């Protein structure tokens, strides 16, 4: 398999001794949309800057299309970077800003003009091409930064929180544009963000980072429903974590002894676990069902086995076709969940007892 980008045991220690990135491994296929997601200071930007060449690699190897680029300066790499503040030249108009990179490369005028017109057209900027960038809106400036990075026809586009400066509505519409553009161009995008909604909406795969290390690499849905570490389970989505010790293992289903009795979930990773070992069950809000306390116990057991926990309903709210529900377990922990109104309306009452239930397949085990 030929990869566009590979990081092999890449590490970064800054001169002051800060280990910013530790043993980072990743293979990226051509045309993938990759997001680095994690809290501030976890090493996302440092990793992106190492890929771009604006930061040196301390250990390990960085490969672009199979070629080691550790010692190549940024302008020699087939990458282009968009910074959070866009770094547009205020004294140049839109066209001059977009053209700049091609001039640096010494492209003949006719060819440069053709490429600039092409990308301005693609991004809907032709009409404003003679305007000063300082007079334009955030969304337009964002598009100019994109045009400027794409006009040099990079193999890999690197984006450092490029939507951070935009308001929520604009973010949403530019997110869609970005995704369509990336599909259209078929080039690899590597995107840094601390906003999970953005990473989940845009990426083919998300790399969750924590304190310089990779926690998990997964497609968005899998990350959401199958976190492999406690950090990811707490950082992404809306999960309830119930600790316990292993009682039995049956294929991929593991049953734990917990404060709520014996309950089970699915072991995503093929690792054997022995009786008595400490593990936790991660229960995504999406996997939880709520049932009224009157529900026949045999029916409950038939559907959910032992995965039934008593709770009290604290809040019910209907938004469109969705009912949002907040319940409290006996240990004080709360679970936010939601479901289609047709399924729940008239069956649940605030203040009443109920059951939280789930199928073992919907819950994930973490060690």
Q: Which residues bind ligand ADP (CB under 6 A)?
A: 14, 16, 18, 20, 38, 40-46
Choose between 23 and 286: whose C-beta lies nearer to ligand ADP: 23
For ligand ADP, the closer CB: 43 or 162: 43
- CB-CB contact of 146 with 81 (8 Å): no
* Residue among 40 and 274 whose Cβ is closer to ligand ADP: 40
**What is the closest distance, in whole angstroms, from the C-beta atom of residue 267 to ligand ADP in the complex?**
30
What SS3 state is found at 344?
helix
Residue with Cβ nearer ligand ADP (16 or 274): 16
In the complex, what is the shortest distance from the CB of residue 355 to ligand ADP, in angstroms, rounded to a whole number? 41
Report the residue number, 45 or 258, with the smaller CB distance to ligand ADP: 45
- Give the β-pairing of 334-340 and 322-329: antiparallel
Residue 274 neighbours by CB distance under 10 Å: 7
Q: How far is the CB of 356 from ligand ADP (least distance, A)?
A: 35
Closest contact distance (angstroms) between CB of 10 and ligand ADP is 13
* Least distance CB 193 / ligand ADP (angstroms): 10
Angle at which helices 168-185 and 138-150 cross, to 10°: 20
What phi, psi does 296 have (nearest 5°)? -60, 130
Q: How far is the CB of 18 from ligand ADP (least distance, A)?
A: 4
Buried b (16+ CB within 10 A) or exposed e, 47-86: bbbbbbbbbebeebebbbeeeebeeeeeeebbbbbbbeeb
Where helices occur in 61-133 by DSSP H, the ranges are 94-104, 109-122
Q: Which CB atom, from 43 or from 265, has the smaller least distance to ligand ADP?
A: 43
Beta strands 33-37 and 253-258 are: unpaired
């Amino acid at each position: 398999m030929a990869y566009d980008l590979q990081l092999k045991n890449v590490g970064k220690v800054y001169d002051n001794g800060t280990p910013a990135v530790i043993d980072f491994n990743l293979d990226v296929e051509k045309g993938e949309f990759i997001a680095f997601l994690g809290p501030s200071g976890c090493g996302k930007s440092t990793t992106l800057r190492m890929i771009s060449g604006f930061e040196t690699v301390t250990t390990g190897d960085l490969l672009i299309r199979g070629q080691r680029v550790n010692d190549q300066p940024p302008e020699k790499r087939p990458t282009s970077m968009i910074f959070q503040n866009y770094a547009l030249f205020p004294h140049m108009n839109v066209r001059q800003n977009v053209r700049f990179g091609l001039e640096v490369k010494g492209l003949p005028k006719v060819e440069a003009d053709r490429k600039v017109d092409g990308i301005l057209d693609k991004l809907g900027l032709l009409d404003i091409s003679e305007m000063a960038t300082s007079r334009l809106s955030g969304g337009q400036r964002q598009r100019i930064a994109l045009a400027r990075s794409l006009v040099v026809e990079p193999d890999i586009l690197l984006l450092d929180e490029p939507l951070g400066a935009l308001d929520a509505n604009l973010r949403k519409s530019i997110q869609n544009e970005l995704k369509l553009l990336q599909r259209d161009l078929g080039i690899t995008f590597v995107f840094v963000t601390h906003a999970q909604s953005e990473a989940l909406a845009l990426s083919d795969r998300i790399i969750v980072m924590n304190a310089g290390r990779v926690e998990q690499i997964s497609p968005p849905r899998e990350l959401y429903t199958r976190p492999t570490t406690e950090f990811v389970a707490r950082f992404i989505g809306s999960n309830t974590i119930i600790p316990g010790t292993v009682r039995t293992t049956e294929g991929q289903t593991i049953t734990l002894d917990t404060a709520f009795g014996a309950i089970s979930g699915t072991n995503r990773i093929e690792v054997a676990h022995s009786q008595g070992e400490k593990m936790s069950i991660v229960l995504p809000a999406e996997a939880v069902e709520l049932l009224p306390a009157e529900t026949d116990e045999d029916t409950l057991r038939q559907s959910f086995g032992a995965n039934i926990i008593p709770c009290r309903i604290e809040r019910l709210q209907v938004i469109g076709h969705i009912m949002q529900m907040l319940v409290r377990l006996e240990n004080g922990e709360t679970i936010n969940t939601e479901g289609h109104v047709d399924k729940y309306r008239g069956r649940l009452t605030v203040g009443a007892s109920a059951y939280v239930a789930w199928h073992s397949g919907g819950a994930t085990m973490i060690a």
